[in-house]
Amino acid sequence: MTIEEQILHTLPQAVSDLYQAIMPANAFNLQETRKEFDGQITVVSFPITQFSKKSPEVTGEELGTYLQNAIPDVAAFNVIKGFLNLSISDSYWINSLEQAGNYQATANGKKVMVEYSSPNTNKPLHLGHVRNNLLGYSVAEILAASGYEVIKANLVNDRGIHICKSMLAWQKFGNGETPASSGLKGDHLVGKYYVLFDKAYKAEQEALVAQGKTEEESKKQAPLILEAQAMLQAWEAGDEAVLSLWKTMNTWVYAGFEQTYTTLGVDFKKYYYESNTYLLGKDSIEEGLKKGVFFKKPDGSVWIDLTADGLDEKLVLRADGTSVYITQDLGTAQLKYDDFGMDESIYVVGNEQDYHFKVLFLILEKLGKNWAKGLYHLSYGMVDLPSGKMKSREGTVVDADDLLAEMVATAKQRTEELGKVEGFTEEEKEKLYHMIGLGALKYFLLKVEPKKRLLFDPNESIDFQGNTGPFIQYTHARIQSVLNKANFGTNAKTNYSGALTSSERDVLVCLSQYPALLQAAAQEHSPALVANYTYELAKLYNKFYHEEIILKLEDKELKNFRLALSAATAKTIKKTMGLLGIQVPNKM
RNA sequence: GUACCCAUAGUUCAAUGGAUAGAAUUGCAGAUUCCGGUUCUGCAGAUGGGGGUUCGAAUCCCUCUGGGUACACCA
């Protein structure tokens, strides 16, 4: 049992014995002791005063005495106002080292799906997608590490009018250009024609306006948009020529995406395609009509009235019987559940769709789906750049591939300036630059709470000092260097029994918090917690490293202990960075 | 118009309703210069305004201001 568990186990007993009252274990408030006070674990005694009927100070004293007598590892305590600070014995912390870095959560028997990425096949990925992919991947890794069985899913938006726009433009202006003939990455090639369509479409609109039409009219009557709509109808009717072009261009796009995913280091277990799911959901409509959840308007369209829930009336099926966005999502949700029967399902989607998911989940609940309570929208904010915000419709998008390449190039330049890569082969160098460049990007994007907008500064992210990925990578490399020089294996066993210095103890306390941190991160769906924990650990280790000697120590036991402490730190850093999708080098 | 989200040092981020609001960066002063230089220490600097709830509020409630997003028979 960990010391926290022992304390939480003993506290209700203490309240019962001392004050003849019942207080459940989860009503107690444990926290890390602030550094300016003695101790490592603090019990907040305010909530207990309602049972003790005594002042916070007296309650703290009484509980402190009780805990000290009941738990051998509680070595001492002090009370400051409503805070009972417990000092845990050095031997407890030294013993905890053996487990540090080895924590493995037991399977919790639950299944969770994380759907993320969800690209459109008409253009390449941009910075916004990057945040989505990193978040989804990291949350999936965190859940897996905390005991879930995880299914990573990708719902590809491969049909619709926007796809037809790229196709039509390629037909008209492409001259048979292919990725092979042009050397362009497939998704970029298709994206190029999407942009070309938009340009030509706008020109047509302007021409119509010049002829005296209103903007509204010209938007609808421009020949290109009419053609695109016709193409969509032909696609839905199964027209072979259109389908064949669609397949060809999709192949290009997927090859391009695959490359970007590989560079990013993300993966998926299950792909869903909207071309297969866009007709789903009509069963749910039938079901809802029968149950009286939906109602039909005189024109035949189907609606749900959510005004009682503070939302609006929402269309779920058109009068002509065709689906809308939410119809598909109802069907797809059912399909996913039928496929995997998961307990929870997480949608990683930008916060501009908050309303959509609120409605979607509410409808599924009203339809009586008992799995609806396990649905969660992991909503995230936009990514801004110092030069201004990036949004696809403003044409200032930062392309994901360009960004990744630039990060790696910057990593290369910075590393070369430092001149620490002598003795590396070309291949090792490339690998290192990739690790640093992507580590910088990933860490910077993940350390911020998902729902907040974030400002991405590429230069700051790749700084080798401060709260950055490379700083943590550097700390790891430095530890490895020490371990190598000492010829120290991974065995963290130690027989050390001396007194701890404060910097040693701080590192040990931090290491021991990993299991709780992992559970919290899983619960909150928050890679940011993991990132900030890792940074804290790296900082504490650096302080220890600076204050204490390791390699030149005469005392074998102490030296061995400090090496073991270093090894456990490196192991934990590697693990938590892995949860963020970030690799750490042994040399840099 | 209605709803939702956000607002913390100059800047970028933290803080399960708990102590004197932590870091990073910037600036200034210093240490180490020993195992790896990118390490460490100190100083300076912040909860948008106004009410309320609470033993205790950056956090919960109301209101105002500012920023964003959504309210499509688009996806």
Chain B nucleotides with an atom closer than 7 Å to a protein C-beta: 3-7, 11-16, 18-20, 23-25, 34-41, 55-56, 68-75
Rounded CA separation A27/A424 (Å)? 55
Closest residue, CA to C1' of B25: A466
Q: State both tokens at A473.
A: 């990578």
Measured between alpha carbons, how far is A501 from A559 in angstroms, rounded to an integer?
13
What is the predicted pLDDT for the residue at A516? 93
Find the Å distance, CA of residue A464 to C1' of nucleotide B25: 12
- The C-alpha atoms of residue A466 and residue A480 are separated, in whole angstroms, by 20
- Between CA A113 and CA A129 the distance in angstroms is 19
pLDDT of A390 reads: 44
Here the tokens at position A182 are 């042009």
Return the pLDDT at A389: 43
| Nucleotide B51 C1' to residue A119 CA (A) | 47
Residue A98 CB neighbour total at 10 angstroms: 14
Q: Which residue is nearest to nucleotide B36 (CA to C1')?
A: A478
* Partners of residue A346 on adjacent β-strands: A114, A376
Distance A329 CA to B74 C1' (A): 14
Comparing A225-234, A378-387, A414-423, which segment has the lowest mean pLDDT? A414-423
Is strand B in 7 Å reach of the CB of A519?
A: no
Nucleotide nearest to A536 (CA to C1'): B23
DSSP line for A472-521? HHHHHHHHHHHHHHHT--S-------SPPPHHHHHHHHHHHTHHHHHHHH
Question: Is any atom of strand B within 7 angstroms of residue A353's beta carbon?
Answer: yes
Question: In the β-sheet with A149-156, what is the strand arrangement from edge to edge?
Answer: A270-273, A149-156, A111-115, A344-350, A375-380
Count of CB atoms within 10 A of residue A517's CB? 19
Å from A466 (CA) to B25 (C1')?
Answer: 7
Nucleotide nearest to A538 (CA to C1'): B39
pLDDT at position A311: 87
In this predicted structure, the answer to whether residue A397 has a pLDDT above a threshold of 90 is no
Assign A492 a pLDDT band (cuts: 50, 70, 90).
low
Contact A584, A573 (CB under 8 A): yes
The rounded distance, in Å, linking the Cα atoms of A254 and A281 is 26
Rounded to whole angstroms, the distance from the CA of residue A362 to the C1' of nucleotide B4 is 16
H or E stretch including A454? strand A454-455
Please say whether the beta carbons of A327 and A285 come within 8 A: yes
Distance CA A196, CA A169 (A): 7
Q: What is the mean pLDDT of residues A177-186?
A: 96
A52, amino acid identity: S
Contacts 24+ apart (CB under 8 A), A389-392: A390/A126, A390/A127, A390/A128, A391/A128, A392/A123, A392/A126, A392/A128
For the segment 120-149 of chain A, residues whose CB is within 7 A of strand B: none
Question: Averaged over A156-178, what is the pLDDT?
Answer: 94
What is the Cα–Cα distance from A287 to A303, expressed in whole angstroms?
A: 13
| The dihedral formed by the CA atoms of A280, A286, A292 and A293, expressed in degrees to the nearest 10 | 0
- CA atoms of A185 and A175, how far apart (whole Å): 17
Which residue's CA is nearest to the C1' of nucleotide B56?
A46
Nearest residue for B14, CA–C1': A532
pLDDT at position A152 over 90: yes
CA neighbor of A96 nearest in space, from A500, A475, A477: A500
Q: For the CA atoms of chain A, what is the radius of gyration?
A: 29
Which residue in A240, A225, A206 sits closest to A164, CA to CA?
A225
ipTM: 0.92
Across all strands, nucleotide nearest A485 (CA–C1')? B35
Q: Judge if the beta carbon of A419 is closer than 7 A to nucleic acid strand B.
A: yes
A551 touches strand B (CB under 7 A): yes
Domain boundaries, chain A: 3-88, 282-322, 410-579
Tell me the mean pLDDT in the region A395-409.
86
A45 CA to B55 C1' distance (Å):
11
Q: Integer distance in angstroms from CA A270 to C1' B7?
A: 39
Q: What is the pLDDT of residue A464?
A: 86
Q: Is the CB of A532 under 7 A from strand B?
A: yes
In tens, the pLDDT along A423-482 reads: 788 888 899 999 999 999 999 999 999 999 998 988 889 888 889 999 999 999 989 988
Strand B reaches within 7 A of the A542 CB: yes
pLDDT at site A556:
85
In the predicted model, is pLDDT for residue A388 greater than 80?
no
3-state secondary structure of A292: coil
Q: Is the CB of A354 under 7 A from strand B?
A: yes
What pLDDT sits at residue A458? 87
pLDDT per residue as tens digits for the range A256-305? 999 999 999 999 999 999 999 998 999 999 999 999 999 999 999 999 99
Distance CA A426, CA A424 (A): 6
> Of chain A residues 176-215, which have a beta carbon within 7 Å of strand B?
none
CATH of A3-88, one of 3.40.50.150, 3.30.1360.70, 1.10.3720.10, 3.20.20.450: 3.30.1360.70
pLDDT score of A488? 82
A91 touches strand B (CB under 7 A): no
Distance CA A251, CA A257 (A): 10
What Å value separates CA A588 and C1' B22? 30
Confidence check: pLDDT of A491 > 70 = no
**Overall average pLDDT of the A577-581 stretch:** 96
Q: What does DSSP assign to residue A381?
A: P
The pLDDT score that the predictor gives to residue A26 is 83
CA distance A352 to A329: 16
The answer to whether the C-beta of A164 is closer than 7 A to strand B is: no
A65-83 mean pLDDT: 95
Q: pLDDT confidence of A493, banded at 50, 70, 90?
A: low
Nearest to A198 by CA among A176, A177, A222, A178: A222
Q: Residue A355, CB, less than 7 Å from strand B?
A: yes
* The nucleotide closest to A120 (CA, C1' atoms): B75
Q: How far is it, in rounded angstroms, from Cα A413 to Cα A435?
A: 14
pLDDT, average across residues A62-80:
96
A 40-69: CB within 7 Å of strand B: 42, 44, 46-47
Residue A378 CA and nucleotide B4 C1' are separated, in Å, by 15
Q: In the prediction, which pLDDT does A394 show? A: 41
DSSP E strands, A53-93: 74-80, 83-88
Report the alpha-carbon distance of residue A397 to residue A399 in Å, rounded. Answer: 6
- Give the integer Cα–Cα distance in Å for A59 and A40: 19
Q: Would you give the DSSP letter of residue A321? A: S
Q: What is the mean pLDDT of chain A?
A: 91
Q: What is the pLDDT of residue A391?
A: 41
Nucleotide nearest to A464 (CA to C1'): B38
Please check whether residue A280 is in contact with residue A335, taking contact to mean a CB–CB distance below 8 angstroms. yes
Amino acid at the residue A503: S
For residues A40 and A7, give the distance between their C-alpha atoms in angstroms, rounded to a whole number.
13
Class of domain A410-579: mainly alpha
Which amino acid, one-letter code, is at A371? W
* For residue A508, pLDDT beyond 90: yes
Q: Where are the beta strands (DSSP E) in A33-136?
A: 41-44, 74-80, 83-88, 111-115
Measured CA A465 to C1' B41 distance, in angstroms: 17
